[in-house]
Amino acid sequence: MAPGKKPDSKAKTNQGINARITFLQWALVFVMLLLAMKAVDIQIFQSSELTQKAEKEYIRQITVNGKRGDIVDRNMKKLCITIDTLSVAANPRMVVDASATAKKLAEILGVNRKKLQKNLESKKSFVWIKRKISPSESEKIKKYNFKGIFFKDDLIRFHPQKELAAQVTGITGSDGKGLEGIEFQYNKILNGESRRITIEKDAAGRYYSEEKDLRDKLKGDTIVLTIDSTIQFIAEKALEQAVTEHKAKSGMAIVMIPSTGEILAMAHAPAFNPNSFTDFERDRWRNRSVTDPFEPGSTMKVFVAAAAMELEIATPMSIFFCENGKYRVGRSTVHDTHEYEWLTLKQIIKYSSNIGAIKLSEIMGKKQLYNTLLSFGFGKESGIECPGDSPGLLSHYDRWSAIDTAAISFGQGISVSAVQLINAISAIANGGTLMRPRIIKEIKDSNGEIRQPFVPESIKRVISKSTAIKVKDMMRAVVEEGGTATQADLNGYSVCGKTGTAQKVSKSGGYSKSRYTALFAAFAPMENPELAVLVVVDEPPKSHYGGVVAAPAVKKIFSESFHYLKIPPDINTKTEHNQ
């Protein structure tokens, strides 16, 4: 270029463009280097941390509990089972309109709308909406196809027989744990195994796993009861009729096999439906035949008579002066319902003389009376496989006054549970051996194999066979003409029994003159007893005698149970009538 001449403008322009291009190229190279370095950092140095974050978003660890085992009767009829149901949950991050969704779900499920909306507006990826929903509720929810709302397989405890043996089997809470009865006592065995597993979530926020199949594999053991559902039904209906007819407060009934101690029925009134147990008062849930002791009244007289003969103090034909119905013990006066003069031991039991029982206790002494009652299982737990096994109340004889000894001989000042009483009666029925009462026959694993059998267990011999035969004969007289339980006499069968009418303790002290417990304990047939039955009716307001209130129910249970079990009559009624 010549000196003094200006540079060409076009050349300057090209130089500027080239400079900018060069700058952009280097800038791009720099950005690429930064991205490469970041990629290296992410892939190598932050890989573990980011993987964990991703897993938290799409993978969860949960504990799977095996399906709860079944409870069945002795014939494998199902009383308690676990069935599949659905629970509804949400991924709040996927919910489109929390307010509208909460409003509609609250209407369908009957849950608190404000609390539900708060949960749906949270930043969590999983929240429960309602556990164990009904089929109708799930169908209504499915119709709306809510975003972020999904169902999860769940389990619910179900009692297909409803009220049948409900107090025996018991109940479970919403968490599946036993709250009462066998469900509580054998909670660990029924629960089955647990296992920790991983579940994955899809793009819609729903979790998938093999949880359902695994629950079946981890299922708990099955408990087989000694209960017979048919006899349980018979006992419940007979008891319900007695309680209703006499407008009583409540009642209990037990049916036992005397030779083994197996309980075929354990009924309560009023009943409750365990499928909706929260709709009923808590007092109905427990097994009162085991947990609630009561004063047994004159049923105690058979044990006093047994002791007197075992100790050779008296024979069935020994006679006792019964003071014309009035007898003073210390500062107290004891009465009989009739003014008896001389009675044999057999008549004392037949007519249920309080004074006759006192005379026997005075001869044997309080120590022997105490040891006899203790030997028959009173004053200690029965050993039955149920929670709340009550020992009742039998204070030591050192603390007995003269009137205490007298009262205990006819069933006051002592309390027993229903299972203790029927078990003691069964000891007389089977020839003198006290058995351990049993409500469980066996435990089976999920494959149906017997894991643990429960065999009959003899506790001790309490009286000799000859004494037992004599007591049976006395108890047979109670049901025959002139006895206190003629309403229990069953055509064709030799029923043996003893009535009880016990005054209840008054809230102000002493005994109430208007509140009674009426009961009747019996077994049949006489020679080889197949069944022993006890019915206890609490606070019938009008007639309160055991022979009037409880005996007819016992007769009904015997009659229908013998027919069901095909137990033949043991009496030729025509011959007996002629005799």
First CA to last CA across the chain, in angstroms? 160
Answer whether residue 280 is part of any domain: yes
Position 365 scores a pLDDT of: 95
Position 576 scores a pLDDT of: 47
Position 64 scores a pLDDT of: 72
- The identity of residue 94, as a single letter, is M
Per-residue pLDDT, averaged over 210-233, amounts to 87
Position 426 scores a pLDDT of: 98
Answer whether residue 365 is part of any domain: yes
Q: At 495, phi and psi to the nearest 5? A: -85, 135
Percent of the chain with pLDDT over 90: 65
Confidence of residue 509 (pLDDT cuts 50, 70, 90): confident
Reported pTM: 0.83
Q: 7-16, 182-191, 321-330, 357-366: lowest mean pLDDT where? A: 7-16
Answer whether residue 172 is part of any domain: no
Position 51 scores a pLDDT of: 55
Q: Could you tell me if 533 and 254 are in contact, meaning their C-beta atoms sit under 8 angstroms apart?
A: yes
Answer whether residue 397 is part of any domain: yes
Confidence of residue 20 (pLDDT cuts 50, 70, 90): confident
Per-residue pLDDT, averaged over 193-212, amounts to 62
Task: Report the CATH number that the domain containing residue 492 is assigned in CATH.
Answer: 3.40.710.10
Closest-CA residue to 378 (of 338, 347, 422): 422
| Active site (annotated) includes residue 298 | yes
Number of domains within the chain: 1
Answer whether residue 166 is part of any domain: no
Query: Peptide bond before 391: cis, by omega within 30 degrees of 0?
Result: no
Under DSSP, the state recorded for 427 is H
Over residues 372-418, the pLDDT tens digits come to 999 999 999 999 999 999 999 999 999 999 999 999 999 999 999 99
Confidence of residue 30 (pLDDT cuts 50, 70, 90): confident
Closest-CA residue to 304 (of 253, 355, 267): 355
Contacts 24+ apart (CB under 8 A), 197-204: 197/61, 197/62, 197/63, 197/64, 198/59, 198/60, 198/61, 199/59, 199/60, 199/61, 199/62, 200/58, 200/59, 201/57, 201/58, 201/59, 201/60, 201/91, 201/125, 204/94, 204/150
- Ranges of beta strands (E only) in 381-510 are 433-435, 440-444, 450-453, 458-461, 496-505
Answer whether residue 103 is part of any domain: no
Strand 194-201 versus strand 149-158 pairing type: unpaired
Q: At 351, phi and psi to the nearest 5? A: -95, -5
Domain that holds residue 346: 229-440+453-578
Name the more confident of 34 and 84: 84
Under DSSP, the state recorded for 463 is S
Q: 126-130, 220-224, 249-253, 537-541: lowest mean pLDDT where? A: 126-130
Position 322 scores a pLDDT of: 95
Place of tokens 């249920």: 352
Closest-CA residue to 75 (of 162, 158, 187, 161): 161
Query: 206: buried, middle or exposed (CB in 10 Å: 19+, 13-18, 0-12)?
Result: middle
Answer whether residue 233 is part of any domain: yes
Position 8 scores a pLDDT of: 61
The active-site residue out of 229, 289, 298, 446 is 298
How many Cα atoms occupy the beta-carbon half-sphere of 455 within 13 Å?
A: 2
Answer whether residue 390 is part of any domain: yes
